[in-house]
Structure 1
Amino acid sequence: MTRKRTRESLEQVLCEPCHCCVGRGKLKTPETICYEIFREILREARAYQAVGYRVLANQRVVDRLLDEESGNVAELESFIGRTIRFQVETMYSQEQYDVVLL
């Protein structure tokens, strides 16, 4: 008996075709980057006592954080007890971001 793959691969779920190289490469989706940012903030909150956090990221990622992921952002703020602010960095690629402690 053999098993046939019926689901998308992990790469297909977490990535999308690259716009620069017309689909030959892969980029992480804004959703994937959002969850990476959440994990980074949790790590920083455990390690340092900061007043708040500022996330510098690409426009698509910030839009996703403020729209579809806004509930998760509010839940994370409540969990760590600190505010999280977002700033668009136009020179950042979709996969680039920085979490700044305030």
Structure 2
Amino acid sequence: LQGGGSIVIDPTEALVAIDVNSGTHRVDDDAEETAYQVNIKAAREISRQIRLRDLGGVIVNDFIDMKAEKHRRGVERELQNAVKRDRARTKVLRISPFGLIEMTRQRIRPSLKRSIYEECPCCNGTGSVKTAESVAIEVMREMMRASSLDSIGRISVELNHRVATYLANKKRKELLDLEDRNKVVINFESRYDVNPNHLEIRCQSKFGEDIAFSHSMSSK
């Protein structure tokens, strides 16, 4: 925001959260006046940004706390006036005791984020993936299940390079014990171009014949 302060926009599945921060903006060491001026500027910018990004649904604006009722109503009116120029149907509620102003807005077109970005193929849009350790534990479980079958003599495993590295460094003894106990040979194919949860298992008999094996580990 001009003169200091900022807004942070965080779209989620349920709503859009917009947080107002004062930053370096100061008015003669007057916290109340500083909050009021930053909030007024933020109200105008919030209106502009939701039009630009075409944010829709429930929008919760978290303004800087103000004690004076006239300031609280002033920010509320500023936001109501700012959204009047919006072509989308918009409703602004009263400011809460905690400085929150909820509003709803009709989405006219796909949001800017949806137009520019696509869902991450690794995490399916969740923003997180399993650690190499947790995936390695699941892989070990599948190896134990496959190697326990009497008909299987060789197991080839294709997996993400981080998981393969973890298994080689942290699970080497368990893998050697598994091979020795069940009289099987286990080979790993480390891949850089697959997602962290990727697992493909190919099994062969002691005579080199392919054997179908279905693992239960999800690739998502």
TM-score normalized by structure 2?
0.34
Moved more, 25-34 or 44-53: 44-53
Corresponding residue for 1:38?
140
Q: Does structure 1 retain, via aligned residues, the 8 Å contact 2:153–2:183?
A: no
Q: Deviations over 1:28-64 (max 9, x none)?
A: 1111111111111222233461221111011111111
* Distance in structure 2 (CA, Å) of the matches to 1:62 and 1:56: 9
Is 1:50 equivalent to 2:152 in the alignment? yes
Is 1:101 equivalent to 2:215 in the alignment? no
Moved more, 70-79 or 44-53: 44-53
* SS of equivalent residue, structure 1 residue 65: helix
Aligned counterpart in structure 2 of residue 80 of structure 1, from 177, 182, 194: 182
* Distance in structure 2 (CA, Å) of the matches to 1:32 and 1:79: 24
Q: Does structure 1 retain, via aligned residues, the 8 Å contact 2:157–2:201?
A: yes
AA paired with 2:158?
L
Give the direction of change, closer, same or farther, for the CA distance of 1:96–1:62 in structure 2 (3 Å limit): same
- Percent identity reads 23
Deviating 4+ runs (over 6 angstroms): none
AA paired with 1:67?
N
Question: What number of residue pairs does the alignment pair up?
Answer: 82
Q: Does structure 2 retain, via aligned residues, the 8 Å contact 1:52–1:83?
A: yes
Q: Does structure 2 retain, via aligned residues, the 8 Å contact 1:37–1:99?
A: no
Q: CA RMSD in A?
A: 2.2
Bigger radius of gyration among the two: 2
Name which structure has the greater RCO, CA cutoff 8 Å, separation 6+. Answer: 1
Is 1:62 equivalent to 2:187 in the alignment? no
